[in-house]
């Protein structure tokens, strides 16, 4: 009888538990386009939108949008009023450059291109 209750509790927990970080990461990955090593011509970033403490969308213009994934959580990103991005000769490199959110530096791990539909799916904008 005890095994039945344990199994029932495990099933109910799985049904009501929030999605894990791995599930959320996979969902975001499915919504993103191909991975790129760099973003060229970033002297004028038009807009940025925070997805979570680990990801943001950079828009250079309506047709050039990128999902930027950070190496680790950058908790300052969620409520940052000021955002800076390191560049080398007007280029952002994954694995080298970093985002600065209200003075906190967070290394860029990965960059994915986004089309308009993917951007909307990620930002609900």
The mean per-residue pLDDT over the stretch 67-84 comes to 91
For the stretch 55-91, what's the b/e string if a residue is b when 16 or more beta carbons lie within 10 angstroms of its beta carbon?
A: bbbbbbeeebbbbbbbeeebebbeebeebebebeeee
pLDDT at 91 over 80: yes
State how far the alpha carbon of 34 is from the alpha carbons of 37, 65, 66, 82, 111, in Å. 10, 12, 10, 28, 9
The per-residue pLDDT of the chain, averaged, comes to: 81
Tell me how far apart the alpha carbons of residues 60 and 25 are, in angstroms, rounded to a whole number.
Answer: 24
Start-end of H helices in 1-125: 2-16, 21-31, 116-123
pLDDT at 110 over 90: yes
Angle at 28 between CA 116 and CA 52, to 5 degrees: 95
- 19: helix, coil or strand? coil
For the chain, which residues make up each domain, given as ranges? 2-123
**Percentage of the chain exceeding pLDDT 90:** 60
The pLDDT tens digits for 32-75 are: 899 999 999 998 889 999 999 999 999 999 999 999 999 999 99
pLDDT at 20 over 50: no
The mean per-residue pLDDT over the stretch 75-91 comes to 91
């Amino acid at each position: 009888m005890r095994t039945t209750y344990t199994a029932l509790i495990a099933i109910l927990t799985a049904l009501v538990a929030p999605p894990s970080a791995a599930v959320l990461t996979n969902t975001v990955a499915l919504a993103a386009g191909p991975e790129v090593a760099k973003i060229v011509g970033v002297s004028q970033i038009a807009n940025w939108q925070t997805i979570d403490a680990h990801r943001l969308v950079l828009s250079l213009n309506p047709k050039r949008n990128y999902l930027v994934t950070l190496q680790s959580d950058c908790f300052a990103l969620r409520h940052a009023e000021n955002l800076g991005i390191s560049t080398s000769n007007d280029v952002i490199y994954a694995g080298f450059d970093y985002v600065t959110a209200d003075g906190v530096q967070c290394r860029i791990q990965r960059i994915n291109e986004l089309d308009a539909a993917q951007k909307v799916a990620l930002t609900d904008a």
